[in-house]
Structure 1
Amino acid sequence: MSALYEPFQLRSLTIPNRVWMSPMCQYSAEASGPDAGAPGDWHFAHYGARAAGGTGLILVEATAVSPEGRISPGDLGLWNDRQAAAFRRITSFLKGQGTVPGVQIAHAGRKASTDAPWRGGAPVGSEADGWQPVAPSPLPFDDGHPVPDELTVEEIQRVVADFAAAARRARDAGFEVVEVHGAHGYLIDQFLSPHTNHRTDAYGGSFENRTRFALEVVDAVRAVWPEELPVLFRISATDWLTENPNDEREGWTVDDTVRFAAVLKAHGVDLLDVSTGGNAPKARIPTGPGYQVPFAERVRSEVGLPVGAVGQITEAGQAAKIIENGQADAVLIGRELLRNPYFARHAARELGGEVSAPVQYHRAV
């Protein structure tokens, strides 16, 4: 059997295979009113189909820890108990299919209050359910984006508490894995990178200061999350900016990621979900099949922390080789799972692996 279909153990949790679903925003929740941020029929059908398709772990899209932490007014949230209750229908169904339910909790920072991508993704104001973004420093994301408010130390601590509260609700909602979103230019990533963090207090400047907020979030989440269940952290391994220390545009680098991965491991993070980019809109990114896998491989080999690999992983053989070659412990599939909810099942047939099928579908196995 292909290593892609071997179970994977994280703390007490056994994930049935190494084909996992990457968090991908759907921008399809109610924007306002009592059901704002709560999952609906679209989310149930969307995630349920991938579970029926044999995906081992599903990480639900970036789910905001506060209303102002949303990327768009249509984002999911876990800032109130009504939202947590609405998730239980989804987590129960996923578990019933043999899939582990996970959720990515997030704060968008300066990239908040934007429209859905199919409407252009531009910033939206209060007339379209928008709000004022916040960030570590008052630097807009791109041309045409608002200058965010710089967070005070008191406000930073409030966001840390929001992450902890969201993690507590995630467990109440039935999730068994929680992932802290520290990638793609969202708030935690903004603190990590000197490209976006120009603070001069305890949260800016040195590596230790720039990583302080991320570690406070991880510690707060780990403190409320069950000891027997895993915490994941998604990171952008590089901003794809120059690594010349004399260049004012210098950002977060792969060397920073390797260094920080060891710290995250010491703080109770069980797996690093390794992506790249998102913090500098004009960065040049050399994309291609598996282009981010080497970053995951380096963390795994140098730190000994389990890793997930992402980025244009679209074929069964390609995914299997990543696991078999020891480059990653799991592959997180994105767009290919949007195209084909049954990717895990089809790949198993091609590779000689095995995934459970819903009993209603046995005549087609």
Structure 2
Amino acid sequence: MSALFSSLTLRDVTLRNRIGVSPMCQYSAVDGLANDWHFVHLGGFASGGAALVFTEATGVLPEGRISPACLGIWSDEQVPMLRHITQFIEARGAVAGIQLAHAGRKASTKRPWDGGGAVAIADGGWPVKGPSAIPFADNYPQPETMSLDDIGHVITAFADGARRAVAAGFKVAELHAAHGYLLHQFLSPLANTRTDAYGGSFAHRIRLLCEVAQAVRAVWPDGWPLVVRISATDWAEGGWNVDESVQLCARLATLGVDLIDVSSGGLAAHQQITIGPGYQVPFASRIRREASVRTAAVGLITEAPQAEAIVARGDADMVLLARELLRNPHWPLEAAHALGEPGPWPDQYVRARKR
């Protein structure tokens, strides 16, 4: 039997296979509200055979969005359309997951196809805050240093967002602590130069993420899994590194985190990444072994035998795909055929299944 197409149980939630959809920003919302684009985009992955379908980074506060066009979960008004989406995903046999996020110093930026960089206040942007007054890059907003009250407000917002996510029908919650966004900013000495209880030592730099995990776990149903996405390394001298990631993930496991989604980079504009097929898989493998926590592998995973080997070797418990699924939302069905498995074909599409 294929390891990739075996089920995976996290708490009381069982995934039909080991293939998930990575969170991918769509920059297509208005006032944080999901719409038909999100319904078709996310629903298509469920029909295509994926087991776990994550939303894009979903802002727990309006000022926590990456761009003015990003999804939000800070208002009850945002729940009904999200619930419509999760109901369809579940009806197709997949599990709906939400990525709860705050962009911190990387907020208030333009959509990629609009050129990126800061959105001016006059054009709908907003003042941004981060752990320290260090901008991500010259064309990004200048952040204000967060106060302790600001930090407490963010922790509460993550918990409130999780409550709304329950109402919206999500069964998996992921905290976005990767790619240079707020929770990652607190982890890295390159973005966090604070001298209080949230900066300096390793224990202080991981404090915010740990407190957010505890706050979300307290309101998230006991039978549903909590995931954290991390950047295992900043790929920059003096930044967050893999050794620290192992220590962090061992700590998160004690706080009720069930799986670590292991990515990398995004914190430093001067990062130097060595890219190749499956280049981040060794990070997921090491964290899985040394921190004794389940992991998901991501990054240039494109072929069925490659994904099968990752799971079969025990490098990770599942794989999350992004761009490959944008190219082919039915990749899981094709992978099943390649591996000699029947695959979770929708009844409406069975006539197209290869024999």
Give the partner amino acid of 1:337: L
RMSD over equivalenced CA pairs, Å: 0.7
Q: TM-score, normalised by structure 1?
A: 0.96
2:4 partner SS = helix
- C-alpha offsets along residues 269-313 of structure 1, whole Å, 9 cap, x if unaligned? 000000000000111100110000000000011121000000000
Q: Distance in 2 between matches of 1:303 and 1:81?
A: 37
Alignment-derived partner of residue 3 in structure 2:
3
- C-alpha offsets along residues 155-184 of structure 1, whole Å, 9 cap, x if unaligned? 100000000000010010000000000000
Q: Distance in 1 between matches of 2:246 and 2:211?
A: 19
Give the partner amino acid of 2:132: S
Give the partner amino acid of 2:176: H
Q: TM-score, normalised by structure 2?
A: 0.98
Alignment-derived partner of residue 297 in structure 1:
285
Quote how far apart the aligned CAs of 1:123 are.
Answer: 0.7
Alignment-derived partner of residue 245 in structure 1:
none
Q: Distance in 2 between matches of 1:5 and 1:146?
A: 44
Q: Check whether the contact 1:4–1:17 (CA below 8 A) recurs between aligned residues.
A: yes
Does residue 280 of structure 1 match 2:275? no
Give the partner amino acid of 1:179: E
Does residue 312 of structure 1 match 2:300? yes
Which one of 345, 350, 356 corresponds to residue 338 of structure 2?
350
Quote how far apart the aligned CAs of 1:224 are.
Answer: 0.3
Alignment-derived partner of residue 212 in structure 2:
217
Q: Check whether the contact 1:110–1:186 (CA below 8 A) recurs between aligned residues.
A: yes
Quote how far apart the aligned CAs of 1:146 are.
Answer: 2.4
1:153-232 to 2 correspondences below 5 Å: 153-232=148-227
- C-alpha offsets along residues 251-270 of structure 1, whole Å, 9 cap, x if unaligned? 10000000111000000000
Does residue 15 of structure 1 match 2:15? yes
Which one of 64, 73, 94 corresponds to residue 59 of structure 2?
64
Alignment-derived partner of residue 322 in structure 2:
334
Q: Distance in 1 between matches of 2:345 and 2:77?
A: 32
Q: Distance in 1 between matches of 2:160 and 2:321?
A: 28
Quote how far apart the aligned CAs of 1:53 are.
Answer: 0.4
Structure 1, gaps ≥5 residues long: 31-35, 243-249
Which one of 85, 95, 103 corresponds to residue 100 of structure 1?
95
Q: Distance in 2 between matches of 1:4 and 1:320?
A: 5
Alignment-derived partner of residue 267 in structure 1:
255
Q: What is the aligned-residue identity percentage?
A: 54
Alignment-derived partner of residue 108 in structure 2:
113
Q: Distance in 2 between matches of 1:309 and 1:153?
A: 34
Q: Distance in 1 between matches of 2:163 and 2:282?
A: 34
Quote how far apart the aligned CAs of 1:86 are.
Answer: 1.4
Q: Distance in 1 between matches of 2:170 and 2:140?
A: 34
Q: Distance in 1 between matches of 2:3 and 2:345?
A: 19
Quote how far apart the aligned CAs of 1:197 are.
Answer: 0.4
Q: Check whether the contact 1:184–1:279 (CA below 8 A) recurs between aligned residues.
A: yes
1:26-65 to 2 correspondences below 5 Å: 26-30=26-30, 36-65=31-60
- C-alpha offsets along residues 4-23 of structure 1, whole Å, 9 cap, x if unaligned? 00000100110100011000
Q: Distance in 2 between matches of 1:71 and 1:157?
A: 20
1:107-146 to 2 correspondences below 5 Å: 107-146=102-141
Q: Distance in 2 between matches of 1:163 and 1:218?
A: 9
- C-alpha offsets along residues 27-74 of structure 1, whole Å, 9 cap, x if unaligned? 0001xxxxx101101000101111100001011110000000000000
1:314 partner SS = coil
Quote how far apart the aligned CAs of 1:353 are.
Answer: 2.0
Quote how far apart the aligned CAs of 1:356 are.
Answer: 2.0
Alignment-derived partner of residue 242 in structure 2:
254
Q: Check whether the contact 1:275–1:311 (CA below 8 A) recurs between aligned residues.
A: yes
